[in-house]
Structure 1
Amino acid sequence: MTQTEFKHRIRISKTDLEGKNPLEYALQDMKGIGRAMARAVIRVTELDPKQQAGYLADEDVLKIESVLEDPATHGIPSWMFNRKKDVYSGLDKHLIETDLVLTVQEDITNMKKIRCYKGIRHELRLPCRGQRTRGSFRKGTSMGVKRKK
């Protein structure tokens, strides 16, 4: 490829990625794609991870998008997916970008609705994972210690 075919921004799955970054790191800029998934996608599509993303051909972009849409059919193991045993469908899925954000919001809303412990903690804007709250998470209505004058 020549230098003139370089694209400063490439669009993969409704996301603009920097063309100057190596492909492995450019894919990690997408929400829901981490280091392991980016490497798996590159391995399946047989692309060079060190190649700058701006030099990708349109066919390569389509290959990457097809792998991201349904990674299971391309041989990526289900333990790498970010949504195992979906509540509604029962399938293992890998969600990216807006699908991931909307699904997480829906899960939190559902937890609030059924009034489970995590849902109540989300409503109160407190941590859900067992952190101590004596010194942390004190923003908002909580008062500090008042000093004598």
Structure 2
Amino acid sequence: MKEVSETYLKNRQKVLDLTNQDINLSLENDEQVYIAVFDVPVDSGIVGLHTQTLALVFGLHTPIYSGIGEASTDLEQDKEVMHAMQSVLVSSHQALDGMKKVNDVSYYESDYIRVYFKTRSGIFFKELNEDTKIDQFLKMLMYHVYQTISRKFGTSD
């Protein structure tokens, strides 16, 4: 049985619980995405290292949380990472029609990337387990941020 740390779960939930008022962000419409969470399975035999979460909070944060409880923070201090994060959030509304509105955002084990987009009208979810245009688009958005972080900070993901 794979497990993740309590710290990881709390960090992930804290991001998903944020409201646009919490971050002092005025939204233009109900489809404007201001938080994106990508739960990403990672190849590892070490308990907790089999998952990580890329969290994007518009204009504020771009942390990567590891299932063992570690966090890479302040990545958004780099202008290119901030720009990549903002461009993903600005583009992500295009995927909402292909996602399902959900109330339960609890972490669960999966071999697939899970995407959560938060808007004023709720949280939208998609597990990327198909080779559809929407899955490809969502992966492209996520990889755009990962590639920018990798280029700037030399991490490999």
Largest Rg, 1 or 2: 1
Regarding TM over 0.5, the answer is no
Which structure's relative contact order is higher, taking Cα pairs within 8 Å and 6+ residues apart?
2
Higher helix fraction: Structure 1 or Structure 2? 1
Q: TM-score, normalised by structure 2?
A: 0.26
Structure in which a larger fraction of residues adopt strand:
2
TM-score by length of 1: 0.27
